[in-house]
Structures are given as C-alpha cells and as structure tokens.
Amino acid sequence: MNINKPFAITLDVGSSLANRTGSWRTARPVYVDRLPPCNHTCPAGENIQGWLFHAEAGDYESAWRELMKDNPLPAVMGRVCYHSCESACNRGQLDEAVNIHAVERFLGDEAIRRGWKIEVAAPLSGKHVLVVGAGPAGLAAAYHLTLLGHRATIFEAGPFAGGMMRFGIPKYRLPRSVLDAEVERLETMGVTIRLNTRVDDMLSTMREGGFDAAFLGVGAHLAKRAYIPAGDANRILDAVSVLRGMESEEKPLLGRRVVVVGGGNTAIDVARSAKRMGAEEAIVVYRRTREKMPAHESEVEEALAEGVMMKWLTTIKEAGEASFTVEKMALDENGFPQPTGEYEKIAADSLVLALGQDVDLALLDKLPGLTVDNGMVTVDCNMMTGHPGIFAGGDMVPSERTVTDAVGHGKKSAKSIDAWLRGEVPVAREKHELATFSRLNTWYYADAPKTVQPVLDIIRRQSTFEEVLGDLDEGNALFEARRCLSCGNCFECDNCYGVCPDNAVIKLGPGKRFLFNFDYCKGCGLCATECPCGAIRMEPETV
C-alpha cells in the first residue's frame, strides 16, 4: 500500500449520467488518501502506516523494507526514539495508542537475526560525498546517498561509529551489538567509514579527497559548564565524559554517593548508570518542578523505580570537602523558580553536571559563507549551509537533538545533495490532509488493549547494564500491528461495497481497492458514513 499516492478512481459511463442518478445527487463520494497522524508527526518521515500494513499481514520482511526506505536504523530507533508518533496516534483516543516503536524494534531485530540486506539498485553517479560524523545524522545521510547512486565516505573522529548513540546512550537502553549490526549493514551496502579521522579544515579535506559535496553531522560532544565554588574540582565531572567513560575499559570513579545536576534525559542516564556501577545513592538535583523537567516521563519513572532520588526546586551552590551545599527554590507568581535562602548539605563523593551539550565547530573556522547562531549552523529549507554544496543536520542545526530528528535530517539532506549534484532544485512532496479522529467510524474496531513490553526485574536493573525493556515476540508484534486503524487510507474492509444500496461500488481485486459507478450512485453518502478509516469524502456535485 502506498499511502502517499492519491487514490481517486471513479467511473462515469457514457453521456447518459445526467439522465440517470447524476441529476438526483447533490454530492458524490470520492475515495481519498489522508495523511495518518503517526506519519505526520514522525521526525524521520517514516511511512509508519505503510510498514504496519505489511506487518499486520505477517509479511515482516516487506514491512522492514518499507521502513528502511526512510530509516536505516530501525532496531536502534525502536529502542531510543521517544515515539512522538504514538502521542499523535488516533487509537489513543479510542483506548491506547499503537505500540509503534515496539513493532519497529521487532522488525529491526528480526532483520538482524535473519540477515536481511539492502541492495543498491541505482546506477553509480560518479559523485563522491564527504560525510563528517558517524552519528545518526551522518549514517542516515550516507545510507540515502548510497541508495541514490553516490559514493559516500564518513570521516569519524572517534574510535567507533555511532556518535552519541554509542557515547551518550547507556547500554541498558541500547545494546552495542544492536548498534554494531546496523552499522555493519550500511558498510556492507557500500558506505565507507574512516574511524579516528578528524576533520580540521573542511575545504582542504574536500579538495584533497576529491569530494563533490559534503554533509556535516557532528554531534554535541562538548559539555556545558557552570561555575560552582569548590575546594576540590576533581570531584566535579561532566555528564558527557561520564557516559563516554562507560565505553572504556576503565570506568569513571563516581563513589558511593553521587549527585547529578540537571533535568534532561542525560541527567537521568547518568544517575541510573551510577546506581548500576554500585553507588548506594544517586540524587538528581533540578532547579524546577517535575512537570517542567525535560526528561522523558518514562525515563523518570524507571529511574525512581531503580532507587534514584530526585530533589526538585533545588540548585547547587557550593562544593565542600565531603558534601555539596544546595539551595531550595520556590516558584514565584509567574511559575519561575526563585532562591529562598534556605540551604542544605548533601553528603556525596562526586558531582556530575548534566547541563546540556555544545557542538565543536572548529572545523568550520576556514569555511566562508556560513552563519552560526547560538552555537548552531544556519541552514536553508533544503539543509544547505551558506557555503554552496555543504549541508548540515543533527545537533549542528536548530532541532530537538534526538536520534529521530537526526535521521530525518540525514535523509532530507541526502535528497537535497542529490538534487544539487544533478543541478536540480529539490521539490517538496505535497502532503495530503490530515486523517483526524473525527473522520473515523470507530464502531467497527474491536477493543484491543496495548501490548506491554517485558521489563527486566528490578534487582538486575540496579546492578547490571542488561537491557531494561524486552522485545515483543512474533505473536505480540502481529497483534500490535493489527491494532492500527489505517487512519485515512482504505484497507479493503468491503464496508462501502456491502452497505451501498445501489450496487454502485465495484471491487477491483486484492490490493486494488474499489471504484464508484456513477451511473448507479445516488449520492446518499452511506459509504462515507460507514467507512471505518475515513477514506471516502463526499464532494459537492457539479453540473
């Protein structure tokens, strides 16, 4: 099913229409394809409803291949994406949203288990594109460039591919074997990754390597700092260094009591990691309330279950010999935290600052034409910087700084680079109108509670880096895929065919949907009213 291709086949037979039912109609039914809210919300631009259609039929390989048209890292994304698609899912207004990310993860893991590969069918263009950074944006850009027939080479400054997926996401959320398997698949299909290769001068690197264009996908690896009076600065660490140290043989020494400052997912990751490394206490200190905490709610809940403590409306003031001084905050009439002058000492062995990250833009110092605003590169609607032929995405540009956003940037940039190399202008694809809940006829859908993923027991979660969330089995994945309502797109339920009182609906066969015979249609609208997914619209009759 291609939900992006308009479907409006109708049938008018002969010139006798006006002498038959046409003169009785004030409106005529038209089959339409509407944009599902899950697709509309996905930062990676996945055709979610399209691959769920194959998954609910049990054709998992076709589902995976449909998914791979937009996202080269489904097993990773099914684990680390915060699935905004599910927040938008219309099923959430019926009972519970479809567990989209769990099905995506199942498909990704199934592909790894079965060794499914992607073949490159496009003819070679003879063009060579430099990709800087082997994080999600760079990997996605190189993948799509390769599919388009271009040669893509990634220069990665670090010793491993993955970027912040490897050095910023703990293993209990993303096992490294999964990340390695998806990176290896990209290399097998032709993507070249040069590790330990830092780019200091873009123009020189491009000239010496004979590159025709470039994509910048450098991650935010530089930790933001804050001034805290301290007698022993060695006890104050940054979250990026701590999480990066988890990948080395010598793990960071945090001690038995750890305080983490910050309210984002990185702060939660550090606190949960500290508990797994043996810390008796891990305390997250955040200056605002829980409601204002930018960390994802599920991450906070899991952290609390694992014994991480939270001190909201609190800020660090000073580091002492064996403790840290914190000040309590209070909300003013506008809801902003203000100091109260009330202090408290917290015994701790180390303090970890998780105050956000910046991108190292040193490689752009000799690159003319670029505009940098608030530490990020300005790009146009096609992801191109102010320097012709150089594009950027991921953490380098204004965004939500998630893996999903970065993958979407990589895909969009690859398509723009392809057009630029061919001397063309990218044409944005027209989007269909949104398939809203009000257009659905939910009477036809049976109650089907959401499938819950298995969770590692709490004892092992506190002492090991084993993956917390488990995978769906085939039966659960099939059930969950079948919970999709196919919002706005015909799935051939035969309702219109069955309810039409005039036999004006013609079946075209499996996968071909239906058409209307307007020689018989009286425009009663029963088909549109009874369509479960809202794929029929009544349009005013024209003379």
**DSSP code per residue over 217-268:** -----EEP-----BS-GGGEEEHHHHHHHTTSSS-----SEEEEE-SSHHHH
Distance CA 329, CA 311 (A): 11
Any bridge partners for residue 193, and if so which? Answer: 154
Neighbours of 53 (CB within 10 A): 22
Find, among 488, 482, 386, the residue nearest to 34 by Cα.
Answer: 488
pLDDT at 226 over 80: no
Q: Report angle CA 407, 409, 412 to the nearest 5 degrees.
A: 110
Tokens of 508: 């075209």
Distance CA 127, CA 22 (A): 57
pLDDT at 328 over 50: yes
Distance CA 477, CA 518 (A): 41
Distance CA 109, CA 103 (A): 10
Task: Report, as an integer, the average pLDDT of 2-29.
Answer: 55
- Determine what percent of the chain is predicted with pLDDT higher than 70: 95
**For residue 20, what pLDDT band results from cuts at 50, 70 and 90?**
low
Distance CA 349, CA 22 (A): 82
| Residue 271 · residue 283 · CB < 8 Å | yes
* 410: CB partners within 8 A, 6+ apart: 136, 137, 138, 139, 140, 141, 142, 143, 144, 215, 217, 393, 394
| Residue 260 · residue 271 · CB < 8 Å | yes
CATH of domain 229-355: 3.50.50.60
Provide the pLDDT for residue 230: 66
Distance CA 123, CA 414 (A): 16
pLDDT at 476 over 50: yes
pLDDT at 543 over 70: no
Provide the pLDDT for residue 12: 45
Distance CA 256, CA 384 (A): 48
**For residue 7, what pLDDT band results from cuts at 50, 70 and 90?**
very low
Provide the pLDDT for residue 463: 86
| Residue 35 · residue 431 · CB < 8 Å | yes
Alpha-carbon distance values, 137 to 142, 180, 244, 380, 504 (Å): 9, 16, 19, 17, 50
More confident site: 250 or 56? 56
Any bridge partners for residue 154, and if so which? Answer: 131, 193
| Residue 54 · residue 481 · CB < 8 Å | no
Q: Mind listing the pLDDT tens digit for each residue in 266-320?
A: 999 999 999 999 999 999 999 999 999 999 999 999 999 999 999 999 999 888 7
Report the chain's C-alpha Rg in angstroms. 27
Phi-psi group of 454: left, alpha or beta (phi > 0 → left; psi -120 to 50 → alpha; rest → beta)? beta
Neighbours of 114 (CB within 10 A): 11
**For residue 21, what pLDDT band results from cuts at 50, 70 and 90?**
low
* Domain ranges within the chain, ordered by starting residue: 10-33+489-540, 48-86+94-221+359-433+464-470, 229-355
β-pairing, 536-540 vs 350-353, is unpaired
Q: Mind listing the pLDDT tens digit for each residue in 71-117?
A: 999 999 999 999 999 999 999 999 999 999 999 999 999 999 999 99
Question: 48-86+94-221+359-433+464-470 and 229-355: same fold?
Answer: yes
Q: Indicate the helix (H) or strand (E) that contains 538.
A: strand 536-540
pLDDT at 231 over 70: no
- Which burial class, exposed, middle or buried, applies to 519 when counting CB atoms under 10 A from its CB (0-12, 13-18, 19+)? middle
* 59: CB partners within 8 A, 6+ apart: none
Distance CA 386, CA 381 (A): 12
Q: Mind listing the pLDDT tens digit for each residue in 405-448?
A: 999 999 999 999 999 999 998 888 888 999 999 999 988 888 89
Maximum average pLDDT range among 145-159, 286-300, 336-350 = 145-159
More confident site: 150 or 250? 150
Query: What secondary structure letter does DSSP report for 499?
Result: H
Provide the pLDDT for residue 266: 94
pLDDT at 521 over 70: yes
Q: Which CATH class is domain 10-33+489-540?
A: alpha beta
Provide the pLDDT for residue 222: 85
pLDDT at 16 over 70: no
Q: Mind listing the pLDDT tens digit for each residue in 171-221?
A: 999 999 999 999 999 999 999 999 999 999 999 999 999 999 999 999 988
Domain 48-86+94-221+359-433+464-470, CATH homologous superfamily name and number: FAD/NAD(P)-binding domain (3.50.50.60)
DSSP assignment of 448-466: -PPPPPPB--HHHHHH---
Alpha-carbon distance values, 141 to 81, 214, 314 (Å): 18, 10, 41
Provide the pLDDT for residue 6: 41
Residue type, 318: E
- The half-sphere exposure of 260 on its side-chain side, counting CA atoms within 13 A, is 30
Neighbours of 184 (CB within 10 A): 13
DSSP assignment of 68-112: HTT-S-HHHHHHH---HHHHH-GGGGTSS---HHHHHHHHHHHHH
Per the confidence metrics, is the pTM higher than 0.85? yes
Which SS3 state, helix, strand or coil, does residue 377 take? strand
Find, among 233, 224, 354, 343, the residue nearest to 283 by Cα.
Answer: 354
Residue type, 324: F
